[in-house]
Each structure stands twice: as structure tokens, then as C-alpha cells.
Amino acid sequence: MDRIRIRGGNPLNGTIPISGAKNAALPLMISSLLTDDQLTLENVPHLADVEQLIRILTNHGVDYTVAGKRAGQSTASGRTIHFSARNIVDTVAPYELVSKMRASFWVIGPLLARMGRAKVSLPGGCAIGTRPVDLFIDGLRKLGATIEIEGGYAIADAKGGLVGDRFVFPKVSVGATHVLMMAASLAKGETVLENAAREPEVVDLANCLNAMGARIEGAGTATITITGVSQLSGARHAVLPDRIETGTYAMAVAMAGGAVTLTNTRSALLDTALGALKDAGASIRDTPEGIHVTRNGGGIQPVDVVTDPFPGFPTDLQAQFMGLMTRANGTSHITETIFENRFMHVQELARLGAKISLSGQTAKVEGVPVLKGAPVMATDLRASVSLVIAGLVAEGETEVHRVYHLDRGFERLEEKLTACGADIDRISS
């Protein structure tokens, strides 16, 4: 099993290209099930989760081709992939595929809307919390679907087609917003989603669906209105930049010091997180290429943050920010409001010398002057990269094990950091 080795102490200087967003690419790929025309997606990242979803889509009968590189494109350029779901041959998403990636459950919306039926395995447990699918099922039932849970599967039926209605999310859910927006695009009449997720990835999906002929208004606000159409066509759409990757590398620079330009991204995607970074002592400015990040000479200052749905501080940056705060000149408090078990990285950071105590959903982080390298273990995708951030400044050598978590959401991480001066490499077993 691969592991990543880091020898800390090097500042970061140079350029890091930001990849397409995993959290946008996955629903965009799933939306290919809504049309029998070709959907072309540009800037698709090279990630394990993307490859897994391709396997799931091909199981339903989706054909795909990957376009080759064009003149002037670098290895940092995302892929262009053409998806064609002209013939959906199977509306069953089996456990052995869905269990490997929770987002694959989202196929239930497009399959139900286009084919009138779907049998999708429940995704099962998750390392960072229960993450139930009740909002997906309640919303689809509101659109007229009959859904029964049998043998670990959601068996859905809408033979007469879905019918638009008003659905109020009892709590904000990005995944359920994606699914209901896709399903309602082919429903009869108007659907109104209230208390909908406002994340940039929701806006990106709405933009793609509208390019395919959908009629969606209000994406990016708490109320989304979808007027159903009888069919959708193909389209060409570029996946938006990954704001979580952007924030992660910005935090890495704030931790290690130096000066890095993050290209192919934009600050508007994560204003709250960048604001917290500025409070911590980072200098951040927009450039024509993207975002320039440096750390001022005053060290890292403690900052309290509370995770919240967009436009709040992202839960997917909580672990990384905690890694940064382990070296702050004082005490910070980090409160997690989205997932109940998203502090599993605390014990691993403690192995590097971090001083962190937990009280309910709040972590008290007392900054220490020195972290020391040690073997640590990744427990989930975002937790794993927090260990890399800490390892960048830890004395000696840090080895991060179980890096398959990293490969799910960070494209060529060690290559990008090495190009900016980090002493980091991958060791294959």
C-alpha cells in the first residue's frame, strides 16, 4: 500500500495549478444519464473517485471516450471526456459499486426521471458520519416517486413520470440538492426547492443542465425553481476549479511559508476560508492567473472557525485549517457543525506533537512551537491532507499511510508540492 514521506522545513515557492473540482465533476458526470445525446465535460480531474464513477456509469450502459491532449496543454490540464447514455441497459446500481463511493447513489435521480425506475443500493456507513439518504428519498417521493427500501436497496418507481412540486429541505444538503435538481429537470410542471444548498458546485451543475436545455433559476440562492422539460440535449461544459484544493494549498503556504501562485482558480469560490487565512497571517491577492498566497513575517495567528454550509467555512477545509492552527501563536477553537465524526485526524496530529482537546463538536487547538515527524495514518480524504500540511513543517520525517484516501480527491499532490520546493515523495509498497 502506498505511503507519502515528507521531510519538513522547506518553504513553498512557485506555481500550483488547481484542478477541476471533484465535487462538481461527479454530479456533472451523473447528469449524462438524463440525455441520449453526448455530454462533453472539460477539465475533469484525474482522481480515483472519477474513475470509480466511470465504472458505475458504464454499468448502466454509458459509453465514454477521453480526448487526447491538445497543443499547448500541460500535464496539469484536466481531461476532456465525452459521455453518451443513448442506451441505458441497466437501472440497477449494485452494492459492490455503490458501497465504494457514496456519490454514486445520486444516479437514482436521473434514472428515475428518464427511465421511470431505479434500484440503487444504499451506500452504507461512512468514516465521517452517518450521512443518511433520507432527504434524497423524501424529495423524490414529493415528486411522485414510489420508493421502498428492501434488502439494502432503494427500489424506486415513477412509471407515469415525475411531477413537479414544492420541497423544503429540513437541513441543507448538497447531494440531495444535486439529485432533486437533476430529477426535476425532466419532471412535469414546476418544482421549487427551498432551503437548497448554495455551493458553487450546485451552480455549476445548474449551468450545465441549462446548457442541455433545462430551465433552472435561482441556483446559488436558497430557492431554486425548475420548470421541467420533456427531454434534454447534449452540451459542452467545463468543470469549475476545485475550491477545496485551492484552500488546501493556500493553507499549506501559510503553514510552510514562501510565496505561491495558485492558477486556474478564483477567490470568490471560498471567500470565508480565505478570510480566515488572512486573519491567521497570510497575504492573499487576486492575480490575472489566479490567487497569490504568501505568509507575513509575524507567524501564524490563532483564529476561531465554525464550519457551515456555503458561503460559510467549508467542512472540507476543517481538517486542513486545524493542521495549520497546530503551529499558531496561541489557542484557536474549531467547531464542526456538518458531520458528527469529523475529528478523527486529531489523534494523528497529536502523534506529531499537536496539542488538541475535544469538547463535543469543538476542538481546542493550542499552538506549539515545534512539530516532530512520525508515522501517521489517513482516516478520510480531508484528514489525510491535514497530515501532509503538518508534515511540511515537522522536524524530521513524516510518513502518511493509507494515502488511497488522498488519491480520491487530490490530483498529483506530491508532484505539485515538489515543484514548489517541498521534500515529499510517494513510496509504493
Which DSSP helix (H) or strand (E) runs through 292?
Answer: strand 290-295
CA distance 320 to 147: 39
Residue type, 321: F
Listed residue (381, 357, 353, 383) closest to 368, CA to CA: 353
Q: According to the annotation, is 131 in a ligand binding site?
A: yes
Is residue 209 within 8 A of residue 182, CB to CB? The reply is: yes
Q: According to the annotation, is 23 in a ligand binding site?
A: yes
Q: According to the annotation, is 157 in a ligand binding site?
A: no
Listed residue (103, 109, 104) closest to 214, CA to CA: 109
- Whether residue 45 is preceded by a cis peptide bond, meaning omega within 30 degrees of 0, is no
Grid cell, residue 18, equals 488547481
One DSSP character per residue, 108-142 reads HHHHHHHHSEEEEE-----TT-----HHHHHHHHH
CA distance 270 to 277: 11
How far, rounded to the nearest angstrom, does the alpha carbon of residue 263 sit from its chain's CA centroid? 18
Reply yes or no on whether 126 is catalytic: yes
CA distance 390 to 10: 12
Q: According to the annotation, is 134 in a ligand binding site?
A: yes
CA distance 239 to 363: 34
CA distance 151 to 122: 9
Q: How far is residue 378 from each of residues 37, 223, 347, 397, measured CA to CA in Å?
A: 40, 37, 11, 16
Is residue 245 within 8 A of residue 18, CB to CB? The reply is: yes
* Residue 359, CA atoms < 13 Å, CB-side half-sphere: 4
CA distance 110 to 32: 8
Q: According to the annotation, is 22 in a ligand binding site?
A: yes
CA distance 413 to 259: 17
Q: According to the annotation, is 296 in a ligand binding site?
A: no
Is residue 282 within 8 A of residue 300, CB to CB? The reply is: no
Task: Tell me which of 66, 67, 89, 126 is the catalytic residue.
Answer: 126
CA distance 139 to 145: 9
Is residue 147 within 8 A of residue 140, CB to CB? The reply is: yes
**What are residue 22's phi and psi, to 5 degrees?**
-60, -45
CA distance 65 to 283: 42
Binding residues for UDP-N-acetyl-alpha-D-glucosamine, by number, are 102, 131-135, 171-174, 316, 338
Binding residues for phosphoenolpyruvate, by number, are 22-23
> Which residues are catalytically annotated?
126
Binding residues, by number, are 22-23, 102, 131-135, 171-174, 316, 338
